Structure 1
């Protein structure tokens, strides 16, 4: 069956000395699952993955599983520039029962060919067991290494169901719709949850989004209403989701803003901590406009 649903691209709670705050991270992920997410993407871009070591990421996953988070509800970010680092993360995740692997292409060298991207993914996926399921992570704004249709087609031809999905973080609705049309048996997830309903209607799989950290129930409502055939109600729910996304994007840098809003919601200043080069939002007054916008969108913060 195709993977589908609402997945939060989870933020990662950080400590002042540069570590992962395991307790707060686990509590947040449990709240996302309880709040309507089918699952959580761990250590993606929103999770500041590049700012944590392989050992820190592995220890975080170990802690989550030990704390009772079901491995089949985790999409584990594993894509790094070195093949063996990606394999280390992927193999560890699989050993903990996590089959779904969210994989960036190697992203240090820019202007590489499709053939090079195919070769890089092939070196990794060739060494994964049959039960592994790879979600290709297309985020050209950050990685500067696009995952094109020829790349997807070549990998699907070689690996079949091991290439199970695509996270399209281009924020380009037409691009996402084109990918859904070109690969109808692939689970295509937009990262932009303002596109959730349009892509569901076109055959998309749901969403993997940062704003779901703040509005998981709203995203889930769109998904459930669409699946139930309540189109008018789904459209109303989508308007709320879109308003939340726009408010978050307009407030400032995405990850520090989400963390600052969580700190306000939970009355827990430790949540404002981010890893450099990101900078924390320490001025509560700066949050007032977005908190008002979120309240207007019927979202408690």
Structure 2
């Protein structure tokens, strides 16, 4: 397997800023991506917390172009390209390769439920063959609480055998450490990179040989999470993990995507950041005040955001 473009550490499913008319705000996206990179966090744009499934293929392509035109390094990007339609997935994945993305995070087609591993293998296989790019590195996205279409261990094994230079890793957002551990034990020795779907599992993942995490909280708490990823072998790593967990616990009292955006709006001084696309609803003034008060109570800040 070609490991020259191996992605490790912490990546953020970057929140997507919207203008008042609900169109994507490319300038703001560039700005926050540059801030995240300054915090040593990579960019999993168009992930779950990016409101990716509220964006069209055309909008995603325009935003990828804006990031590339702004000089954002492609190798630090892992765009989400998995859609229900094979042709949409192929179009987005090809464009990710065009801008030099280090990999793509690919949901399975998630509308039909109860599909077989045979069907999912055929879907991933079709995409790989249609894209036809030797640079392609796919990180399969296992998020059964949302998709209800799991990426099973036998499916990963089959994909790895068929496409060992292309199937690069997984984001495991099952929230089940036993599943993540099984992936690590079974596939990590083959050079298959396992990313936890939450920084709560970051230390455990790294200690077991995993690649890192791709996490919503990378948007809000990137510096400390990236610091743990760098210093996980230090004696204070458990204490660092506990502090990171406290921040997540504070945000988790509120709807996650609106809470992330409300915090960015507060700490950046730009109220427009609070805007979400329907069907999501932004936090109420009472909720926003409660979030800020709770964050102040634990000494939380977002240094360098403004």
- Indicate the residue corresponding to 2:20 in structure 1: 16
Q: Are residue 182 (structure 1) and residue 174 (structure 2) matched?
A: no
Give the structure-2-normalised TM-score: 0.93
- Indicate the residue corresponding to 1:159 in structure 2: 163
Residues 84-138 of structure 1: CA deviation (Å, up to 9, x unaligned): 1100000111111114011000011001111111111111012231110000011
What SS does the corresponding residue of 1:137 show, helix, strand or coil?
Answer: strand
For residues 33 and 59 of structure 2, the distance between their equivalents in structure 1, rounded to whole angstroms, comes to 17
What SS does the corresponding residue of 1:76 show, helix, strand or coil?
Answer: coil
- The structure 2 residue matched to 1:35, chosen from 39, 42, 62, is 39
- Indicate the residue corresponding to 1:290 in structure 2: 291
Residues 22-41 of structure 1: CA deviation (Å, up to 9, x unaligned): 1111111111111221x110
Q: In angstroms, what is the RMSD of aligned CA positions?
A: 1.3
- The structure 1 residue matched to 2:208, chosen from 202, 213, 231, is 202
For residues 182 and 250 of structure 2, the distance between their equivalents in structure 1, rounded to whole angstroms, comes to 27
Comparing 90-99 and 143-152, the one that deviates more: 90-99
TM-superposed CA distance for 1:237, in Å, is: 1.1
Instruction: Name the CA shift for 1:248/1:207 in 2 (closer, same or farther; >3 Å).
Output: same
Aligned runs of 1:105-184 on 2, under 5 Å? 105-128=108-131, 129-184=133-188
What SS does the corresponding residue of 1:145 show, helix, strand or coil?
Answer: coil
Residues 174-219 of structure 1: CA deviation (Å, up to 9, x unaligned): 2111111111121111111111101110111111000111110110
Residues 56-82 of structure 1: CA deviation (Å, up to 9, x unaligned): 000001001101111110101100011
What SS does the corresponding residue of 1:146 show, helix, strand or coil?
Answer: coil
Contact 2:49 2:216 in 1 (8 A): yes
Comparing 166-175 and 147-156, the one that deviates more: 166-175
Give the structure-1-normalised TM-score: 0.95
- Indicate the residue corresponding to 1:25 in structure 2: 29
For residues 240 and 197 of structure 2, the distance between their equivalents in structure 1, rounded to whole angstroms, comes to 18
- The structure 1 residue matched to 2:199, chosen from 177, 190, 193, is 193
Instruction: Name the CA shift for 1:298/1:173 in 2 (closer, same or farther; >3 Å).
Output: farther
- Indicate the residue corresponding to 1:233 in structure 2: 236
- Indicate the residue corresponding to 2:258 in structure 1: 256
Contact 1:222 1:235 in 2 (8 A): no
- In structure 1, list runs of 5 or more residues that go unmatched: none
